Chain A
Amino acid sequence: MTLRVGLVGAGAAAQAIHLPTIARVSRDLVVAEVMDPDVGLATAVAAPHDARVTASVQEMLAGEGIDIAVVCSPNRFHLSQIKELVAAGVKGILMEKPLVTTLEEVEELRSVLADSETKLVVGAMHSYDRAWLEAMRVLEEEGYLALNDVYYVRDTVYLPANSRFEDMATTMVRPDRVGGKDAPADLLRNGVLGLAIHDLPLIRRFIPQFDRATHASVLEPWGYTLTAHGPKGTLDTVARMEGPWEPDWTLEILSHGFELDVRFTPSYVHPGSTTVRLRTRDGRERTFGPYPDDGYDAEWRELLAAVTEDAPLRYDARTLIDDVEYAIKCADLAGEALAQEPKWSVTAEVGAK
């Protein structure tokens, strides 16, 4: 059965992540529509697929129709585009994260998806990573997750500029956009909702809520630090991009019963799964991965099975909405912490007594 796929947004995520994954996952997926307000970009991306080019979702939906939409547009358009796609009865949506960006939008999204038959998958590839899921299965089976005693999570992301990896994944067609520099508060919020959000759904399992952020800062030229606390656990996160260094993306989870050390691969490239090292208090150490298939493959396979076989989704709409609500609250706390003077700050002065 052929499924018509429509790209909503033709930028890097569409070109470097989803088109190569679609080609790997199934011959039944046909890229039929490419929508982007930058029609020149859309035309260049559509050409190898003989896909139709449009400049709006409305225009795209007025054509022969699509079965699956891949939403890779700027975040601010996400909610309105989901509404249009759901209303049109699109069978499946693969939605790049974040689903939405404000708590008000979260509530609206809940009502939009409440009675929808549309199958929704969010492009949070780490949530679908096989090595991660294998480690979670073992922790569940051995009773460690039930202990609920994670006290510390550290997420660090040191990556070169995305363009390096985009070019490794495809022959990128780049738009002629010139981006301005974000204000610090926007940079921090975009950092949490654009980068930390890859791992926040994983972290939510262990620190289900945050009460406060003790510190947040913005790093030049692009990066942030954030230390946030829940009732029992602390999240400590640092991100820094735009340098020439080797990619280094790790997630550490510490509890009394087990410790996880996760090594992620960079975004855009398709190098297989992550590697997860699990140490448990009985002295055992186990390693999961790397497996040849990555989280991008798994997202698409899951959506395909849901659309064609009505297979259950690993993460239902409610879970996905709760995930984004968690991320937004985390971003809000980060913003509050950034706006405040540090509660604790001391300076050493040479010669001071």
Chain B
Amino acid sequence: MSRVPIVVYGDEGRERVLATIATAPSWCRAEEKAQGEHVAWVLPSADESLADAAARAAEDGASVIVLDTLDAPDAQELERVAELNVPVEPLSRWSHVPQVVQLAGLVAESEGHVDLVDVRLQERDAIASESSQDVWTVLSLLTALGLPVDRLCGFSQGWAWPVWDDGELVAFEEGQVAFDSFSGPVPVHVTLTRSRISPVQASIKVFARTKTLKARSGDPDVAGVGEVIRVDDSGSLTLPTIYETGSREALKRALAIAKGEAAPSTPIEAHIRNARLKESL
């Protein structure tokens, strides 16, 4: 069976992507340069925009583009990528974490019955410095869950980390974001904090009239223990932990798209809307 060539464009996080490709040596191989049809993994870069890199990949013959949006791209960039006419698998910090993907499956079974979503993210203190970045992270996660947000309200941000200069307090860095939002008629309450004490984790609770769906996951860069539970009147179901990183989940999806066995997990149009919401902050 031939191994799918993967070309990495951009450099921020390149080592992580190459390490992920190395976890599937029977399925794919990393190539320095494109030689025809390939999967393109497009990363942010200091000297080339995400859209320019994606365009270059399309010209090189990419059949699928994994678009790494960890750095919260703007809507215009995403629109340009959407116009390339190449299937795009947008990847963000929590979007492909196995517990999120498992929960999305359970949410899909409950379509039309969900009446409240509670998202609680605890991040490392150094991940982001702007609240719009945090909003992007959460919106991408909710899109991956099948609960794309179309309205934000009651946004608040707080200041957590004191910045000292020669013994003098000069500022507080942003350390928390909380807002209410709506996915259609469904209220979605979101809180993101950054901590130097507790580990990175996500807790997502989806409530419906007849059941609760819950997911808990650790650091998305680590293939650690996670938890996905469905509780209803008949009892509870706990799904087995999938010990994979979000990057590996994205890789599997990209390879399936390349083989014509799957579609992108989320449409890029949804991410364009997220970018517009983020930009309206």
What residues of chain A have their CB less than 8 Å away from a CB belonging to chain B?
Answer: 151-152, 154, 156, 158, 214-217, 219-220, 223, 225, 227, 229, 233-234, 236, 238, 240, 243-246, 248, 254, 256, 258-259, 261, 279-281, 342, 344-348, 350, 352
Contacts and interface: CB of A to CB of B under 8 A. Distances in A.
Contacts of B189: 225, 238
Interface string B137-161: 0000000000001111111101111
Given A152-B158, A345-B153, A346-B152, A236 B273 contact: no
A226 to B, nearest CB: 10
B180 A158 contact: no
Given A154-B120, A229-B158, A236 B198 contact: no
Given A215-B154, A238-B118, A347-B151, A151 B159 contact: yes
Contacts of B197: 254, 258-259, 279-281
A234 B156 contact: yes
B207 A245 contact: yes
Interface of B: 115-116, 118, 120, 149-156, 158-162, 175-176, 178-180, 187, 189, 191, 193, 195-198, 205, 207-212, 231-233, 236, 269, 273-274, 276-277, 280-281
Return the 9 tightest CB-CB contacts between A and B, nearest first: A215-B154, A245-B212, A345-B153, A342-B153, A346-B280, A214-B156, A348-B273, A344-B155, A234-B158
Contacts of B193: 152, 254
Given A156-B118, A214-B154, A246-B231, A259 B195 contact: yes
A236 B153 contact: no
Contact of B211 (A154, A245, A256): A245
Contacts of B207: 158, 240, 243, 245
A281 B276 CA distance: 38
A244 B156 contact: no
A160 to B, nearest CB: 10
A227 B153 CA distance: 12
A244 B233 contact: yes
Given A223-B116, A246-B231, A352-B276, A215 B211 contact: no
